[in-house]
Chain A
């Protein structure tokens, strides 16, 4: 159990376009999901906390108008990178919090975004 998927696993887009990344908890309901960004050979940096039915909470320095997060259901959160630029190229990873006040997060396999 506790499987989190991401789609797509990799995407290439042109500069100026938008791209949507989906994060799904397949076998549990997650009221809270997290979005991370990872540059090559670096650690994960939390971008935002996504709460079902409410606005996401963004970390300092993350542009909320550029990285749109929608947590429309208990099993799906989406991250849309708007007007993408080459510097947005990165590995994006989501995680979902196990329900019921637990302390565990389960991570998706990540999405490799390349902006040309």
Chain B
């Protein structure tokens, strides 16, 4: 079984500041990890994914995440926040591939202030 914990249901940063959204996972098998973004009343858009190989993965819109097995973490970062980054972010884990069912975290609402 898999589970995901996202620390901080709300994160607020200033425009231009570092964005750090935390995600810890639990999985009995090597995980596939994902970050999704959701804008109000819309579906989810994939930001980035980790499957195998390089543990630092880069995604769209300047986001990146690092898989740290020893810490069971997959935190999402962006060096400089933009107003358009304000949205809900979900971390998700899948066992044996993302084509299998995803287990989502509870989400983090990112607010970007001027």
Contact = CB atoms under 8 A, between A and B. Distances in A.
A44 B94 contact: no
B105 A43 contact: yes
Contacts, number: 60
Is the contact region of chain B dominated by helix, strand, or loop, or is it mixed?
Answer: loop
B47 to A, nearest CB: 12
Interface of B: 32, 36, 41-46, 49, 51, 90, 94, 97-107
A108 B99 CA distance: 15
Contacts of A43: 90, 104-107
A34 B101 contact: yes
Q: How large is the interface on A (under 10, 10 to 19, 20 to 34, 35 or more residues)?
A: 20 to 34
Contacts of A32: 99
A42 B6 CA distance: 12
A49 B41 CA distance: 23
Interface string A39-59: 001111110010000000000
